């Protein structure tokens, strides 16, 4: 724990984090609501990857709903006034949404890996109904892994604050956060590198270059978004733990502020995931373009065809 005279609060940092969380909430609700509408009314052909993307949208919306309460926590000088039960519930939903989102982002990468690199394997014959079964198992697994969030000490609410007492529940959550970043990132990177290498061999003729460019763009978006959103937060948590063990208020205070900002930026993943949907299916590009043009006052565009092909198909 931090020493009693070791204050790490900063009004500027807390206001900045609260503003970031509020912006992420608004943009996340807008972007993922458009994606949800596209799934419901525009997507005509369903494949396993589409099922995984729909679950990713659900997880992102769950995070977006939690963010206003997290912003209020920072506006209140890191004080939670709604009671320990609501605090633990909020932490549980945030951890669950983040874990499920990372899991389905990884599932999309693995699905594309098998379809492109190993197209003859029977796993590629997986039906959308079976993909729904896999999705249900993912939710149940993450529910089991994150239930410890409901048992964290009241001092750690509504998140795992660096100065909080490190109970078993808090230590479990720290280990889970690391596992949810390091392992999926490695798997996503491996799958996407193999996909690009395979497509480069197959699409050597000029007619296949546009398809290869779309694939490269999607791979770049997934890897860059994952790295930019999660790796700084992970590094900051490590440095906070190191400086807390070493002692010294000044260095620890700086790292706590860095950790607060980087942790808030981690939720940008739920805001920027629509870029993944746009590269995966032209139906999403049309929906977002239509909303953007409406906000700019340019009126309605012509309807795009409803039967849309996957970018890797």
- List, for residues 127-142, the tens digit of each pLDDT value: 999 999 999 999 999 9
> Do 111 and 52 contact (CB within 8 A), yes or no?
yes
* DSSP reduced 3-state for 258: helix
Residue 313's pLDDT band (boundaries 50, 70, 90)? Answer: very low
Q: Judge whether residue 100 has pLDDT over 90.
A: yes
8-42 pLDDT, tens digit per residue, is: 677 888 899 999 999 999 999 998 998 888 888 88
Look at the alpha carbons of 108, 114, 115, 116 in this order and tell me if their dihedral is positive or negative: positive
Q: Residue 2 and residue 87: Cα distance in Å, rounded?
A: 21
Residue that wins the pLDDT comparison between 296 and 106? 106
Query: What 8-state DSSP symbol labels residue 303?
Result: P
**Is the previous residue joined to 158 through a cis bond, with omega within 30 degrees of 0?**
yes
Structural domains of the chain, ranges and CATH numbers in brackets: 11-295 (1.20.1070.10)
Q: Exposed e or buried b for every residue in 103-131, given b needs 16+ CB within 10 A?
A: bbbbbbbbbbbbbbeeeeeeeeebeeeeb
Q: Judge whether residue 310 has pLDDT over 80.
A: no
Residue 231's pLDDT band (boundaries 50, 70, 90)? Answer: confident
Tokens of 151: 């048992």
163-185 pLDDT, tens digit per residue, is: 445 556 667 767 777 888 888 88
232-266 pLDDT, tens digit per residue, is: 888 888 888 787 777 767 777 888 888 889 888 88
| pLDDT given for residue 63 in this prediction | 93
pTM reported for the whole predicted model: 0.83
Look at the alpha carbons of 246, 248, 251, 255 in this order and tell me if their dihedral is positive or negative: positive
Task: Concatenate the DSSP letters of all residues of 281-301 into one string.
Answer: -HHHHHHHHHHHHHHTT--PP
Tokens of 39: 């799934």
Tokens of 58: 């659900």
> Do 223 and 170 contact (CB within 8 A), yes or no?
no
Q: Judge whether residue 55 has pLDDT over 90.
A: yes
Segment among 2-6, 28-32, 289-293 with least mean pLDDT: 2-6
| Average pLDDT over all residues of the chain | 80
Report CA dihedral (10, 12, 17, 18) to the nearest 10 degrees: 100
């Amino acid at each position: 724990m931090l020493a009693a005279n070791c204050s790490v609060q900063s009004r500027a940092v807390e206001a900045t984090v609260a503003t970031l969380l509020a912006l992420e909430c608004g943009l996340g609700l807008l972007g993922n609501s458009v994606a949800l509408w596209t799934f419901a009314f525009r997507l005509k052909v369903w494949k396993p990857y589409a099922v995984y993307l729909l679950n990713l949208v659900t997880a992102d919306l769950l995070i977006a709903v939690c963010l206003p309460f997290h912003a209020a926590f920072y506006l209140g000088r890191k004080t939670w006034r709604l009671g320990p039960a609501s605090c633990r519930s909020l932490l549980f939903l945030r951890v669950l949404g983040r874990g499920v989102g990372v899991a389905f982002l990884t599932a999309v990468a693995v699905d594309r890996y098998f379809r492109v690199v190993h197209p003859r394997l029977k796993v590629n014959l997986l039906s959308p109904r079976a993909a729904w079964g896999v999705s249900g198992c993912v939710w149940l697994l993450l529910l089991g892994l994150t239930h410890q969030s409901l048992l964290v000490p009241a001092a750690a609410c509504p998140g795992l604050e660096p100065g909080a007492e490190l109970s078993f529940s808090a230590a479990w959550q720290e280990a889970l956060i690391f596992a949810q970043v390091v392992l999926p990132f490695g798997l996503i990177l491996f799958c996407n590198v193999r996909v690009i290498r395979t497509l480069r061999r197959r699409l050597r003729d000029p007619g296949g270059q546009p398809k290869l460019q779309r694939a490269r763009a999607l791979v770049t978006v997934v890897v860059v978004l994952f790295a930019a959103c999660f790796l700084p937060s992970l590094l900051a948590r490590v440095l906070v733990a190191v400086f807390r063990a070493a002692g010294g208020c000044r260095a620890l205070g700086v790292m706590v502020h860095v950790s607060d900002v980087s942790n808030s930026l981690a939720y940008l993943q739920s805001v920027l995931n629509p870029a993944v949907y746009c590269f995966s299916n032209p139906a999403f590009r049309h929906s977002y373009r239509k909303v953007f043009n409406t906000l700019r006052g340019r009126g309605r565009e012509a309807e795009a065809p409803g039967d849309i092909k996957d970018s890797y198909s």
